[in-house]
Amino acid sequence: MGAILFQNNEKRKFNRKQLYYYLKVNHHQTGMLAGYLGDISTKGLMLFTKEKIEPEKAVNFRIDLDEEFGMGKNLVFEARSLWCEKDVNPEFFIIGFKFIDIDQASIDIVEYLIEKYGFKQ
């Protein structure tokens, strides 16, 4: 298939920070692996996944931070897909998401992840 899907020219609209640690992102309800975090900002994220998700779909995710990072709290959030395209590895898709109604405590966690695990420019 290989079709590239864009929605409202929002791809790369936000300045995201690539992490040097690929965090697992799970579906919140089931705990099943959704994919791996490619980059993140306080506005959204990019996910590497085997699932194709059409633009404008709202999804509930969870990043487990208590086990690997000892933070005592997981990052749970809802995000809306903005675009989806095939990765260079044909088994994967790259999907851009925008956070929906993220609270300040979650933004603080995102900022901490960027500061602690993001590439220094």
- pLDDT digit string, tens, across residues 95-107: 999 999 999 999 9
The 3-state DSSP class for residue 27 equals strand
Distance (Å, whole) CA 54 – CA 81: 7
The reported pLDDT for the residue numbered 7 is 40
Distance (Å, whole) CA 89 – CA 44: 23
Distance (Å, whole) CA 18 – CA 109: 15
Distance (Å, whole) CA 121 – CA 118: 9
The 3-state DSSP class for residue 37 equals strand
pLDDT above 80: residue 92: yes
The reported pLDDT for the residue numbered 94 is 95
Q: What pTM does this model have? A: 0.78
Distance (Å, whole) CA 67 – CA 7: 35
Instruction: Evaluate whether the domain defined by 17-117 bears CATH number 1.10.260.40.
Output: no
- pLDDT digit string, tens, across residues 43-78: 999 999 999 999 999 999 999 887 666 677 889 999
Phi, psi of 60 (to 5 degrees): -95, 125
